[in-house]
Structure 1
């Protein structure tokens, strides 16, 4: 892990680990609510039971957090995962009614929490692009 990546990877990785660990035992109304919101943005997720969806989300967040924190995990690969995860959250934000001002991408009060997830896409793309350009000489 490059020293310059350390703050980014540790802070986001710890956030993901905490979020994933907090969802490990999510069931009932909480799992149904989370699942319902995800299905509204990605209809294919309706095939999963809410408790199964919550478990898979939990495991995914734990794995993403661990990959970001692990110094041996390649930055571009961690960046791809982070970009995909962030893109899914941005899709959720864009497709869920009431989270945006009418005719705009600006968040409503209810959407502010999800709108900020665009930073995950930016951080992920930074890791990917830095990995792709690392070591190239400029002429």
Structure 2
């Protein structure tokens, strides 16, 4: 088995993997009320998701988070691939932050109390972009 991650990439990959994998595992047991809430927030920002059943959406989101978290944990998954997937995922989360009413203080990028938890996902974007840029620089 070939290792595609350099030793200094393990800490940020592990940090991101831990939170994403935990989130995905938590969603595996989501009840209907939780699924409707998750789906409603996502569909409010990304209207095309409105066509997806809330339970199906939550199940797919859970599986995607588990897959991404696992990919970040496994050193034989290339950092470019893991970083690109993480960047896309984090971009979607930040889209929720930027487009959902009440997440930011009026006229500002600074988070409101409700938006603080999602605004913190900027670190996921930083890790993903860092992995991607480093790998592109080594080619």
TM-score, length basis structure 2: 0.94
- Mapped pair 1:134 → 2:133: no
Corresponding residue for residue 96 of structure 2: 92
1:27 is displaced (CA, Å) by 2.5
Q: Which residue of 1 aligns with 2:29?
A: 25
* Map 1:1-139 → 2, pairs under 5 A: 1-134=5-138
Gaps of 5+ in 2: none
Runs of 4+ in 1 over 6 A off after TM superposition: none
1-structure distance, mates of 2:117, 2:76: 32
Count of residues paired in the alignment: 135
CA distance in 2, matches of 1:15, 1:110: 19
CA–CA separation in structure 2 for the residues paired with 1:51 and 1:111: 24
The answer to whether the Cα contact below 8 Å between 1:20 and 1:61 also exists between their aligned partners in 2 is yes
Paired with 2:116 and 2:60, the residues of 1 have a C-alpha distance of: 25
**Residue 88 of structure 1: how far off its partner (Å):** 0.2
| TM-score normalised by L of structure 1 | 0.94
Question: Any gaps of 5 or more consecutive residues in structure 1?
Answer: none
